[in-house]
Amino acid sequence: MIRMRIGILGTGHVGRTLATAWAGAGHDVVLGSRRPRDPVLLAELDEVVAEGVRVEDPSAAAEHADVLVNATPGTASVALLDRIGAPALAGKVLLDVAVGFREDGAPSHPVVSLGEEIQRAFPDTRVVKTFSTVDRGVMVAPDSLEGASNVFLSGEDADAKKAVRGLLADLGWSEESVLDLGGISTARGQELFADLFIAIARATGTYEFGIRVVLPAARESAPPGV
């Protein structure tokens, strides 16, 4: 494992779960919050801080990071990144796990995905979309499922995807489980899976499930001339 500096924007359930898991795997993790000295927030983050995670403001988390993780609400992500500023984000790998919803529950990005919006707004940042199809518990414990599952990558930069693959491996995702979908435009499919995800959760009574791409069985080649 290569020890990396990870900055995570967002101190909600997803951000905390990822921070704890990556810190436990040996990475240097900083959580970025707009309230980094708020005693109420720090009390809520006791268990995360106990793993060696520091809490700073978003700009400090971005400055710290080799890989910056966007775990903020999808409707607020671009505005927060704007406040950090394009120069501070230039060249960085940005691992985007966010999905946006409007107040009525409809997706906030029904045509152009959040991942695409971030990439267009920050063309010098290397955006990789992943984890939009699994719950936070499965993100960090894929072996909690009964069988193999897939997660997906969308992005334009091969080296950025390689770095993200390494971080996924540190959470227990095998090389075979990670499916590269192609460019950042494929993030649309990842994000729009949210409606199906919620329907499956309601039907099964749990959010902790995965999905698996099942390919056709191998077939013998037809004889020549057939």
3-class DSSP state for residue 181? Answer: strand
- pLDDT score at 191: 95
Query: Residue 192 CA to chain centroid, in angstroms?
Result: 15
Measure the CA–CA gap between 60 and 55, rounded to whole angstroms. Answer: 9
Measure the CA–CA gap between 171 and 135, rounded to whole angstroms. Answer: 14
Number of domains in the chain: 1
For residue 189, what are the domain limits?
A: 5-204
- pLDDT score at 105: 76
Q: Is residue 213 part of a domain?
A: no
- pLDDT score at 68: 98
Q: Is residue 47 part of a domain?
A: yes
Q: Is residue 90 part of a domain?
A: yes
Q: Is residue 211 part of a domain?
A: no
Q: How many residues does the chain have?
A: 226
- pLDDT score at 27: 96
Q: Is residue 212 part of a domain?
A: no
Q: What is the CATH number of the domain that holds 87?
A: 3.40.50.720
Q: Is residue 135 part of a domain?
A: yes
Closest CA to 160 of 127, 209, 120, 185: 127
- pLDDT score at 221: 61
Q: Is residue 26 part of a domain?
A: yes
Report yes or no: 41 and 33 within 8 Å, Cβ to Cβ: yes
Low-confidence ranges of the chain (pLDDT < 70): 1, 108, 220-226
DSSP 92-127: -EEEE----B-TTS-BS-SSS-HHHHHHHH-TTSEE
- pLDDT score at 222: 56
